[in-house]
Structure 1
Amino acid sequence: MINCVIIDDEPLAREGIAKYVMEVDFLHLIDTCENPVELMKIMDQQHVDLLFLDIQTPKMNGIEFLKIVQKPPMVIITTAFPSYALEGFQLNVLDYLIKPITLDRFLRSVNKARDYHHLLTKAANHPGPGSAREEPPADYFFIKCGSKFEKIHFADILYVEGMQNYITIYTRKGKYVTLLYLKHLEENLDSSAFIRVHKSYIVSIDKIEAIEGNEIFIQSCRIPISRNYREQVIQRVVSNKLWDRIKFS
């Protein structure tokens, strides 16, 4: 069951979305409110999975809320203003519904929310040590690229480049851009397989083909090594694997 809240300053709009929610068996409406300030009080008291968020609301608009809240629930924007679509997706909203919202469009949006919620729940519920049927760690993960969820296999990653709050993942199949901090990705990568070489770059160790000066070569790409990371890179990548006369003397 997905717990949701409707945020809209128009009573008729709240009522209309609430009726749609009642038509969907996997949605549970916790509450409705007029603005994000009221919403934050609700979130302090109850677990919320999904927001139907209007943009033009009093006290604080929906975009302002998304910029300040940490780890927001899934968000479906509901608005009469299509001009905010790009900014909304840059803030990682799940979907963007333009009023008047049809039931068909609403159902397509919440089905997307259900699929994403399933992925999040599955990732959070790996069986712990000692379970009767412990599953091996997943060899892949999903990221959101625009309106699409892309599956990334760890083994396919060549390197990752970070820029402000975006990252670009370069793989054998192509590159993928998503709204994510490089630090957050680094925390979820296997430290024995990946290494930070620069404040803006993480590379797959087994994809490194050569190191020259302050550059790493992966296929036709050159990735810079910063002065702060060079010693660590040489120690982990080269030193234990270096064959030279000293090693065999």
Structure 2
Amino acid sequence: MIKAIVIDDEPLARMIIKGYLSKESDIEVVAECGDGFEGAKAIQAHNPDLVFLDIQMPKLTGFEMLEILDHMPHIVFTTAFEEFAIKAFEKSAVDYLLKPISEERFEQALQKFRGLYQNKQPQKALTALKEEIEEEVLERIVVKNGTQIKLIPAQQIIFLEAYDDYVKIHTKDGMFLKNKTMASFEKQLDAKQFVRVHRSFIIKVDQLAKIEPMEKESYRGILLNGEKVSISKSGYARLKQTIGL
């Protein structure tokens, strides 16, 4: 039996999808959720094969929810907005459905899923899919600590530090780990506020107190909280350009 979960903040949308799925003898809806937090917990608990996921939800968007998953099921995105549908399609989802969802279009999405599922063709690797979930400007970061989920506004970041396969996010509230690359953060964060000053460091410009010269055309940045970060020659050039020196 194929296990499915429906995640949408609109009760009517969940009812319509469940109604369509009720006609499929080999699919069981094991959970329905009204927001991304509930959805992440349900996916962890049920390990579903297929998830119908709304993109625009309060508290946690569909894309943000995917970032904190340990297990990536096959995803069919649902949305009322064309621009999000296009973006969803680019994120290697099985399919995307524009609301209002017709039964004919729903069946087409199911056929695409069945083709992948029956041929044991896995969803795109979780890490690769996470790397592709990128907004034009990252306004907040979702991190998971055990069962706790925290949303960190970008404005609260002091600096980022590379840490093996993770990035340390340093804030006034403490340090948090995120399984993501520095390159992704560099691409997503507002370039007017954040500068990659070294392969291991991205700083928020307004947190920089002073710059000290070191040897071999390298520098050291002293932040307002007293932390010290390395600044490479190329990082120094980017920093000067950003702050207008």
Q: Report the TM range for the smaller structure's normalisation.
A: 0.3 to 0.5
- TM-score, normalization: structure 2? 0.48
Question: Max radius of gyration: which structure?
Answer: 1
